[in-house]
Each structure stands twice: as structure tokens, then as C-alpha cells.
């Protein structure tokens, strides 16, 4: 899709760096990292490739896979939700694939996926087999809200590229939640 | 950690995208059904609030905020509701890319990243709603704002 083109030439504004240090922001960011630290280390399995516990992307990657499985189940069980759930499953599988690629890039040779299966509990439960349409819709909506919240939390602490990746994941999950409501 | 580093260039691009979106919604309103008025108002108000907040951040950082352009070239002529909705989707898509870039270039700062994430999420949800209104498929993209 073509981007909007501006008729005028945007003025080039000088890059201003280091102006007005926002000490409070620095401290806030530090505090957030400290808070995130212990949670990220819970149940870690140390290895040569993972000196600091599970890669924090492991959590959203597993959640994306679980959401995709849930949505696939819902799409098969409820024709009224087939389109919405099918699209949700496709987007969440794309998230999982991209997050797994980043996990492999960051820690080549890591076996984090199978090394500590109990370290990360399944993020979502599958709906009951006899779940009605409203229940299935509610399960998908809750899954999207949970995924959005998890990704949004990681956006605040991770390095730039990963933060941007998870920001897009959060925005996508919010979009699906909006469609389901 | 360089928490004091404000990504001025990325914020200026985001501000330029907000200016463009505000202009777009003024145009779109002339071509779509009155039934969409409240949604259009909501979208325009969100972009105006984002513009104002971004200008404040830039001023605080000592950078003069970019002004709106006097006019914008649209990718295609806007002649009816369908082309107007496509333009709204384009404006939201452009804004999504600009705000994602702010996140990528910001230090791990909940203030700035939080605001940029809210902006990105808003653009993605609005673009999705406009696609639904326009009958476009797919309704969503897996990575809103990604290059």
C-alpha cells in the first residue's frame, strides 16, 4: 500500500539528544526491570546458552501457539466463528513463527522449548468440548486480552527490536479482540 | 541506560503522520455515510489528542514540532465512500509504522513506549474496523506497523 505523500518537503529538524534528562523516567525504567527480573527467572533451567533463564520471548511464543490451537478448535466447532477464529489462528501462528525465529537467532542451539516444559504453564486452557458459541467467543476474547497484556508488559522492558515486535503482537491481538466484541 | 534519550526524528515522523491522519479524516467525512459519523469523530479526536501530546514531548525535548502540510497527495483520487475508507486505512497504516518506529528507537521507558504502544494499538484497531466497514480482507495484519 502506498504511503501518503506530502506535497511539501518536510523541514529537517535538528536531532536533539540528551536534552533535559528525565531522571524520573530513568528511575522508572530501572524499577520496571527490577520488577520484571525475578518473574523472568522463575523456574529457569540454566545452560551454556541461557545464562539468565528462559528467554522472555519464550512466554509470548508459547502463548501464540496455544492461542492458535484454541482458535483452530473453535473454528472447527463453530461455523459462525469460523472466519474470525480462522484469521485469529493464522495471525497467532505467524506470531509464533516469528517469535521462534527470534528465539533461535538470540540463542543458537538453545533447546529451551523442550528443556523445561514445566517452567512455563500452558497460558490458556482449551474450551470445553461442548462449549457453546458464546463461550467460545468469550474464550477467544479473553485469550486476546491476555496476550495483549502480556506483550504490552514486555514492550516496556525489552530492547528496541523485540519491543517493536511485541508491540505489533499486542496491537494485532487488540484488533482481534475488537472484532470479537 | 539512556533513559533521557528522546527519539526526536521518530517522534517528528509520528507527528507528521498524525497531522496527515487528521487531514484525512476531514476529507473522509465528506464521502462516507452519516452512520459512521461517531466513529469518524472518535478517530479524529484520537489523532488530535495524539498530535497534541506529541507536540508537548517534542517541545520538552527542545525540538520545534513539525507543522502540518498545507495539503497532502492521496495515493488515489478520493471520489466515493470506498476510496475514502481506503484512504482512512492508509492513514492508520502510516501512523502505525511511525509509532512502531518510536517504540523501536525509545529507551525502555514506560512513559514514552507506553504512549507509543497505545497509539500503535489505536491505529491497528481503527484500521481493522475500517477494513470491516469496507468489506476488505483480510481484516487484520499480524504485525501492525511492521515495515
Q: Which structural domains are found in chain B, ordered by start?
A: 8-134 (1.20.1260.10)
| Confidence bin at A109 (pLDDT 50/70/90) | confident
Helical residues (DSSP H) of A78-132, grouped into ranges = 82-106, 112-115
Distances, alpha carbon A147 to alpha carbons A69, A71, A130, A159, A170, in Å: 14, 13, 24, 19, 7
Whether residues A14 and B63 touch (CB distance < 8 A) is answered with: yes
High-pLDDT (> 90) share of chain A, %:
56
* Residues A159-172, mean pLDDT to the nearest whole number: 97
- Name the band, by pLDDT with cuts 50, 70 and 90, for residue A114: very low
| Distance (Å) from the alpha carbon of A110 to chain B's nearest alpha carbon | 25
CA distance A36 to B137: 38
Question: Minimal CA–CA distance to B117: which of A30, A155, A92, A141?
Answer: A155
Q: How many CA atoms lie within 13 A of B57 on its CB side?
A: 24
The dihedral through the CA atoms of B100, B104, B110, B111 has a sign that is negative
Q: Chain A partners of B6 at a C-beta cutoff of 8 Å?
A: 16-17, 19
Residue A4 forms contact with B (CB below 8 Å):
yes
Tell me the shortest Cα–Cα distance from A99 to chain B, in angstroms.
12
pLDDT at B4: 55
Average pLDDT for chain B? 95
**Reported ipTM exceeds the 0.85 cut:** yes
Residue A12: per-residue pLDDT: 29
Closest residue of chain A to B104, computed from CA coordinates: A160
**Taken in order A13, A19, A22, A26, is the CA torsion positive or negative?**
positive
Three-state DSSP at A5 gives strand
Ranking A97-106, B108-117, B138-147 by mean pLDDT, the lowest is B108-117
Q: Which of B62, B97, B109 sits opposite A19 (nearest CB)?
A: B62
Chain A residue with CA closest to B105: the answer is: A160
Amino acid at each position: 500500500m502506498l504511503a501518503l505523500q506530502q506535497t511539501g518537503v518536510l523541514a529537517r529538524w535538528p536531532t536533539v539528544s540528551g536534552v533535559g534528562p528525565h531522571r524520573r523516567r530513568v528511575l522508572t525504567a530501572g524499577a520496571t526491570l527490577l520488577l520484571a527480573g525475578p518473574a523472568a527467572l522463575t523456574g529457569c533451567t540454566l545452560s551454556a546458552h541461557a545464562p539468565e533463564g528462559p528467554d522472555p520471548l519464550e512466554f509470548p511464543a508459547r502463548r501464540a501457539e496455544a492461542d492458535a490451537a484454541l482458535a483452530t478448535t473453535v473454528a472447527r466447532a463453530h461455523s459462525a466463528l469460523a472466519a474470525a477464529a480462522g484469521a485469529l489462528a493464522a495471525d497467532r501462528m505467524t506470531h509464533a513463527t516469528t517469535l521462534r525465529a527470534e528465539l533461535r537467532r538470540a540463542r543458537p542451539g538453545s533447546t529451551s522449548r523442550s528443556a523445561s516444559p514445566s517452567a512455563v504453564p500452558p497460558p490458556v486452557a482449551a474450551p470445553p468440548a461442548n462449549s457453546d458459541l458464546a463461550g467460545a467467543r468469550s474464550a477467544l476474547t479473553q485469550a486476546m486480552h491476555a496476550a495483549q497484556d502480556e506483550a504490552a508488559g514486555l514492550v516496556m522492558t525489552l530492547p528496541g527490536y523485540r519491543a517493536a515486535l511485541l508491540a505489533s503482537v499486542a496491537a494485532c491481538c487488540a484488533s482481534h479482540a475488537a472484532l470479537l466484541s | 541506560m539512556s533513559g533521557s534519550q528522546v527519539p526526536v526524528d521518530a517522534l517528528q515522523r509520528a507527528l507528521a503522520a498524525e497531522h496527515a491522519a487528521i487531514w484525512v479524516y476531514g476529507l473522509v467525512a465528506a464521502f462516507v455515510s452519516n452512520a459512521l459519523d461517531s466513529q469518524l469523530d472518535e478517530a479524529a479526536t484520537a489523532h488530535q489528542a495524539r498530535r497534541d501530546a506529541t507536540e508537548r514531548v517534542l517541545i520538552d525535548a527542545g525540538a520545534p514540532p513539525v507543522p502540518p502540510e498545507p495539503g497532502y497527495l492521496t495515493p488515489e483520487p478520493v471520489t466515493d465512500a470506498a476510496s475514502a475508507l481506503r484512504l482512512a486505512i492508509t492513514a492508520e497504516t502510516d501512523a502505525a509504522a511511525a509509532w512502531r518506529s518510536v517504540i523501536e528507537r525509545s529507551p525502555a521507558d514506560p512513559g514514552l513506549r507506553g504512549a507509543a504502544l497505545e497509539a500503535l494499538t489505536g491505529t491497528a484497531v481503527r484500521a481493522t474496523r475500517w477494513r470491516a466497514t469496507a468489506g476488505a480482507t483480510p481484516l487484520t495484519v499480524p504485525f501492525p506497523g511492521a515495515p
